[in-house]
Amino acid sequence: MTGGRAYFPESVTDVSGVAEQIARDIRRQYTIGYMTSPRPSKGQYRTIRVTVKAAGLGKLYVRTRTGYLAPPEKESVVSLAR
């Protein structure tokens, strides 16, 4: 639901492989921002869907949340000003 991933290494020797996978994932992350129109009401749940395409890279996978709760209007204005 959050787009996160859990790892459960079975032994201490598995931890280095898990750490390497996490490091690869972090290096391949992007942050996408957008503004909705019209603005959602405070506490309104907004669904999101992200798809990607890149020529020559085959099937790509996106891990993300399925949506978010709209913050109060004052918080939205402050976060956009930063």
Do 70 and 40 contact (CB within 8 A), yes or no? Answer: yes
Question: pLDDT of 2-61, one tens digit each?
Answer: 667 889 999 999 999 999 999 988 888 777 887 777 777 777 888 888 888 889 988 888
Residue 37 burial (CB count, 10 A): 6
pTM: 0.47
**Letter string b/e over residues 60-80, b meaning 16 or more CB atoms within 10 A of that residue's CB:** eeeeeeeeeebeeeeebeeee
Instruction: Using DSSP bridges, classify how beta strands 67-69 and 45-47 pair: parallel, antiparallel or unpaired.
Output: antiparallel
Q: Say which amino acid occupies 72.
A: P
